Amino acid sequence: MRREGKRTFFYEEGAWIRSRACMAGQKESEGPLGNTFDQILEDDLLGQKSWEFAESEMLRRTVELCASKADMSSGDIGALLAGDLNAQIISAGFAARQLGVPFLGLYGACSTMTEALVVGAALVSAGYLKNAMCAASSHFCTAERQFRAPLEMGGQRPPSAQWTATASGAVLLDEAKTGGMRVTHGTVGRVIDLKIKDANHMGAAMAPAVADTICAHFEDTGRCDRDYDLIVTGDLGIIGRDLLMELLVRRGVPMDDKRLMDCGASLFSPEQDAHAGGSGCGCIASVLAGHVLSRMERGELGRMLAIGSGALLSLVSSQQGESIPSIAYAAAIERSQRA
Amino acid sequence: MRREGKRTFFYEEGAWIRSRACMAGQKESEGPLGNTFDQILEDDLLGQKSWEFAESEMLRRTVELCASKADMSSGDIGALLAGDLNAQIISAGFAARQLGVPFLGLYGACSTMTEALVVGAALVSAGYLKNAMCAASSHFCTAERQFRAPLEMGGQRPPSAQWTATASGAVLLDEAKTGGMRVTHGTVGRVIDLKIKDANHMGAAMAPAVADTICAHFEDTGRCDRDYDLIVTGDLGIIGRDLLMELLVRRGVPMDDKRLMDCGASLFSPEQDAHAGGSGCGCIASVLAGHVLSRMERGELGRMLAIGSGALLSLVSSQQGESIPSIAYAAAIERSQRA
Hey, which residues does A8 pair with through a beta bridge? A4, A187
Which residue in B179, B170, B124, B183 sits closest to B289, CA to CA?
B170
- Chain B residues with CB-CB distance to A107 below 8 A: 83, 88-89, 105-107
Model pLDDT, residue A337:
63
Q: What are phi and psi of B191, to 5 degrees?
A: -85, 120
For an interface test with A, the pick among B7, B48, B107 (most A C-beta atoms closer than 10 Å) comes out as B107
Residues 207-266 of chain B with CB under 8 A from chain A are none
* B269 interfaces chain A, CB cutoff of 8 Å: no
C-beta atoms of B320 and A50 within 8 A: yes
Give contacts of B 152-181 with A, CB under 8 A: none
Check residue B339 and give its pLDDT: 43
B87 touches A at CB < 8 Å: yes
Asked if B107's CB is within 8 angstroms of A79's CB, the reply is: no
Q: Determine the 3-state secondary structure of B14 from DSSP.
A: strand
List of chain B residues whose C-beta atoms are within 8 Å of the C-beta of residue A6: 102
Pairing of strands A8-24, A39-40: parallel
Q: What's residue B135's pLDDT? A: 98
Which residues of chain B lie closer than 8 angstroms to A100, CB-CB?
190-191
Contacts of A274 (CB under 8 A, 6+ apart): A27, A162, A163, A267, A268
Contact A89/B107, CB-based, under 8 Å?
yes
Residue in chain B closest to A56 (alpha carbons) equals B317
Q: How far is it, in rounded angstroms, from Cα B234 to Cα B307?
A: 6
Query: How close does chain A come to B13, measured CA to CA in Å?
Result: 12
pTM for this model (two decimals) = 0.98
Minimal CA separation from A100 to chain B, in Å: 6
Regions in chain B scoring below 70 on pLDDT? 337-339
**Which chain A residue has the Cα nearest residue B142?**
A316
pLDDT in tens, chain A (339 residues): 899 999 999 999 989 999 999 999 999 999 999 999 999 999 999 999 999 999 999 999 999 999 999 999 999 999 999 999 999 999 999 999 999 999 999 999 999 999 999 999 999 999 999 999 999 999 999 998 888 888 889 888 899 999 999 999 999 999 999 889 999 999 999 999 999 999 899 999 999 999 999 999 999 999 999 999 999 999 999 999 999 999 999 999 999 999 999 999 999 999 999 999 999 999 999 999 999 999 999 999 999 999 999 999 999 999 999 999 999 999 999 998 644
Buried-state track A169-205, b at ≥16 Cβ within 10 A, e below 16: bbbbbbbeebbbbbbbbbbbbbbbbeebeebebbbbb
Interface test with B, best of A113, A188, A194 (most B CBs within 10 A): A188
Restricting to B residues 108-137, those with a Cβ less than 8 Å away from any Cβ of A are 108-109, 115, 118-119, 122-123, 126-130
Is B312 near chain A, with CB under 8 Å? yes
For A1, name the nearest residue in chain B, comparing CA atoms only: B127
What is the predicted pLDDT for the residue at B337? Answer: 63
CB contact under 8 A, B1 and A127: yes
Give one DSSP letter per residue of A229-266, joined into a string: SEEEEES-HHHHHHHHHHHHHHTT----GGGEEEHHHH
Among the partner-chain residues A86, A122, A320, the one whose CB lies closest to the CB of B314 is: A86
Chain-chain contact of B316 with A90 (C-beta, under 8 angstroms): yes
Q: What is the pLDDT of residues B71-120, one digit of tens each?
A: 999 999 999 999 999 999 999 999 999 999 999 999 999 999 999 999 99
Facing B325 at nearest CB: one of A94, A317, A321: A94
